[in-house]
Structure 1
Amino acid sequence: MAPILEINNLYKNYGATEVLKDINVSIDKGEFLVLVGPSGCGKSTLLNCIAGLEPISGGTLRIDGHDMTHVSPKDRDIAMVFQSYALYPTMSVAKNITFGMKVRGVDPETQKSKLAEVARQLQIEPFLNRRPGQLSGGQRQRVAMGRALVRDPKLFLFDEPLSNLDAKLRVEMRTEIKTLHHKLGASMVYVTHDQIEAMTLATKIVVMKGGIIQQIGSPSEIYNRPANLFVADFMGSPAMNLIPAKTQTGSGGTMIEIQRPDLEPIRLTDPRARGLPEDIILGLRPEDISEPGFRVGELVQEAPCKVEIVEPAGADTYVQTRLGGKPLTARLHSETEAAPGTVHNLAFDLAKVSYFEPESGKRIN
């Protein structure tokens, strides 16, 4: 079966400025693809190329096996949900949702049944006779989603649809979108700069920077095995700790040495470090640095660290120390006795470590 979306060697230029560079990505029917990256990385431009709103400068784009590279947006069988809702202010909610069907000549009975079905799914039945100005931001976003859902397209495209909502509503809408995806089995492409949204919604993530794809993978692959320093730093909250270190090989094997102020260097033993270059960047997530006894395993090793900052966060407490000249964050339990200015034992789970080359930033283990 052909992928529902297949992009090969796609380039996009504005004059002499190249904004998308050799993009290759595909998704199967029913997948939820999230394009994520910082502002200006090209993710919205790529979505607009998929929609046909931006002509591409090179490469090919296929939807459900059909070449759509130069096909008009109206003939691509897609539905798009925008950040700005894009609702007609003088029309009721019901008319906003059914307007596209009316223009396409869908019969009134089908319009009515589809409206009822979508209104029930999105829980907007009480608002069908209201106008957009009488709705909250979350309700308007539901209407915009409803307008897309009645299309029953091959591909749904979402352009940062939650960015105008407050934090609590974003979480609620995120859950609704994920629930809809499971119910409908629809194929979706979703753009966001929020890596939490990407991790919670996606079945496949594309991380972008400077118009170039940095990594494609499942949320688990992206989080646990980042391909380079950019992905490691961008995906995760708090971000992965990235600490300059050196390897030292002796009769007892290979040691990893990390400098720190006011205390002797930390020396850790990891069998995977054999064969690594002398200078490395050691990556470890905050949740993989805990207090002694909390984690067990052959590669859990302890070291005393001087605490600089303590940040209570409800169920967790984030503790910051400094290793290799860089701040390091550990996620400890809420009852920790760690205090600023004290030396506190931390346990490092080396089974979860990622190693990177300092110069290229690429993952090496």
Structure 2
Amino acid sequence: MAPILDIKNLYKNYGPVEVLKDINVAIEPGDFLVLVGPSGCGKSTLLNCIAGLEDITSGTISIDGRDMTHVSPKDRDIAMVFQSYALYPTMSVAKNITFGMKVRGVDAATQAEKLEKVAGQLQIEPLLNRRPGQLSGGQRQRVAMGRALVRDPKLFLFDEPLSNLDAKLRVEMRSEIKKLHHNLGATMVYVTHDQIEAMTLATKIVVMKGGIVQQIGSPAEIYNHPANLFVADFMGSPAMNLIPARAKKNGDGTKIEIARSNGAPLVLTDHHATDLPEDVILGLRPEDIAEAGFRAGEDVQEAECLIDMVEPAGADTYVVSELGGKQVTARLHAETKAQAGVPLDLAFDLAKVSYFEPGTGERLN
């Protein structure tokens, strides 16, 4: 299957400043691509380049097999949903949604038919005669999406569409967008700085930093096998524990030694790790450190750790212990008896471990 969006060797400069550096991304029809990264990483600029709102310095952008690099935005067969909604305040919801079709000379009967269909999909039929000023943030967001949907484009582009909504509404709208993607089978490119949003919505994630793609993969690949320290730290909440350690090969595997300020080092044996340099950074997600007795498997190793802090969080309790000079978080069950200042046996699941090179930050396993 040919990619619906194919970006090759894309560079974008503002004068001498390189904002995007050698971007290569391709997605299939029906994919939900999420561009994620901290503020200023270039994700919105990349979206604007796909839309044709920004000229690129070099490289190519193809949509459905056609080179669109120098084609104007209106001829790219895309629809964009902005953070600000960009609705016409003096027009009714119905007119906001049909305005683009009217400008393009679509006949009134087709306009009415498409409006009815989209209003049903988004459940905004009762709002059609209202004006944007009479709507809540979530309702305005639906109208902005409706305006994009009636175009039936090759690509939907979303630029942080939920960042103006409160937390509860964001979760609801996230579900709406996911459902919409599922029902329409549409291809979507979505920009966010919220990694939970990225993990929830995407079929494919592009993690960016400083205008450079750090990793491209499915949510599971990005979460379980981060390509470097930046991705490991950025994706996941709470973030992955990144613990400085020393690796020493011995007969049946590699001994991983982690310094502790309050006594002897913590020593774990990884039976699968080979060829690690002496200095490594060990990465383990909080859910891969459990209370002893609650995790079984040949790669699970237990060790006593002094608990510094206990944070109840409803269904889970997070406990923090100092290892390798870092605050290390473990995710325990809600009924744990863990107490601050009291040692507790923790189980480390080395089947889930990631190792990183301290200097370059690159993944080693």
Tell me the TM-score normalised to structure 1 length. 0.99
Q: Distance in 2 between matches of 1:51 and 1:6?
A: 13
TM alignment of 1:18-33, pairs within 5 A: 18-33=18-33
Does structure 1 retain, via aligned residues, the 8 Å contact 2:253–2:272? no
Q: CA deviation at 1:274?
A: 2.2
Q: CA deviation at 1:251?
A: 4.5
Q: Deviations over 1:102-143 (max 9, x none)?
A: 000001011001101110111111100000000000000000
Does structure 2 retain, via aligned residues, the 8 Å contact 1:247–1:273? no
Q: Which runs of 5+ in 1 are unaligned?
A: none
Q: Deviations over 1:128-170 (max 9, x none)?
A: 0000000000000000000000000000000000000000000
Please tell me the residue identity of whatever aligns with 1:223. Y
Q: Deviations over 1:319-357 (max 9, x none)?
A: 011100011000001111111111111100000000000
Cα RMSD between the aligned structures?
Answer: 0.7
Q: CA deviation at 1:261?
A: 1.6
TM alignment of 1:118-197, pairs within 5 A: 118-197=118-197
Q: CA deviation at 1:263?
A: 2.2
Please tell me the residue identity of whatever aligns with 1:173. M
TM alignment of 1:258-277, pairs within 5 A: 258-277=258-277
Q: CA deviation at 1:250?
A: 3.5
Does structure 2 retain, via aligned residues, the 8 Å contact 1:19–1:210? yes
Does structure 1 retain, via aligned residues, the 8 Å contact 2:253–2:273? no
Does structure 2 retain, via aligned residues, the 8 Å contact 1:287–1:331? yes
1:95 counterpart SS class: helix
2:272 counterpart SS class: helix
Q: 1:288 — aligned with what?
A: 288
Q: CA deviation at 1:253?
A: 4.2
The change in CA–CA distance for 1:98 and 1:81 in structure 2 (over 3 A counts) is: same
Does structure 2 retain, via aligned residues, the 8 Å contact 1:288–1:330? yes
Tell me the TM-score normalised to structure 2 length. 0.99
Q: Distance in 1 between matches of 2:263 and 2:110?
A: 73
Q: 2:234 — aligned with what?
A: 234
Q: Distance in 1 between matches of 2:228 and 2:264?
A: 29
Structure 1 runs (4+) greater than 3 angstroms displaced: 250-253
Please tell me the residue identity of whatever aligns with 1:91. M
1:2 counterpart SS class: coil
Q: 1:256 — aligned with what?
A: 256
Q: Deviations over 1:21-59 (max 9, x none)?
A: 000001010000000000000000000000000000000
Please tell me the residue identity of whatever aligns with 2:101. M
2:98 equivalent to 1:112: no
Q: Give the length in aligned residue pairs.
A: 365
Q: Which runs of 5+ in 2 are unaligned?
A: none
Q: Distance in 1 between matches of 2:253 and 2:87?
A: 65
Please tell me the residue identity of whatever aligns with 2:33. L
2:55 counterpart SS class: coil
1:273 counterpart SS class: coil
Does structure 2 retain, via aligned residues, the 8 Å contact 1:83–1:164? yes
Q: CA deviation at 1:245?
A: 0.2
2:48 equivalent to 1:48: yes
Q: 1:201 — aligned with what?
A: 201
Q: Distance in 2 between matches of 1:10 and 1:89?
A: 37
2:76 equivalent to 1:76: yes
Q: CA deviation at 1:242?
A: 0.2
Q: Distance in 1 between matches of 2:253 and 2:97?
A: 67
Does structure 2 retain, via aligned residues, the 8 Å contact 1:256–1:273? no
Q: Distance in 1 between matches of 2:249 and 2:313?
A: 40
Q: 1:363 — aligned with what?
A: 363
Please tell me the residue identity of whatever aligns with 1:65. G
Q: CA deviation at 1:63?
A: 0.3
Q: Distance in 1 between matches of 2:257 and 2:34?
A: 38
Q: Distance in 1 between matches of 2:136 and 2:309?
A: 40
Please tell me the residue identity of whatever aligns with 1:219. P
Please tell me the residue identity of whatever aligns with 2:219. P
Q: CA deviation at 1:318?
A: 0.5
TM alignment of 1:318-333, pairs within 5 A: 318-333=318-333
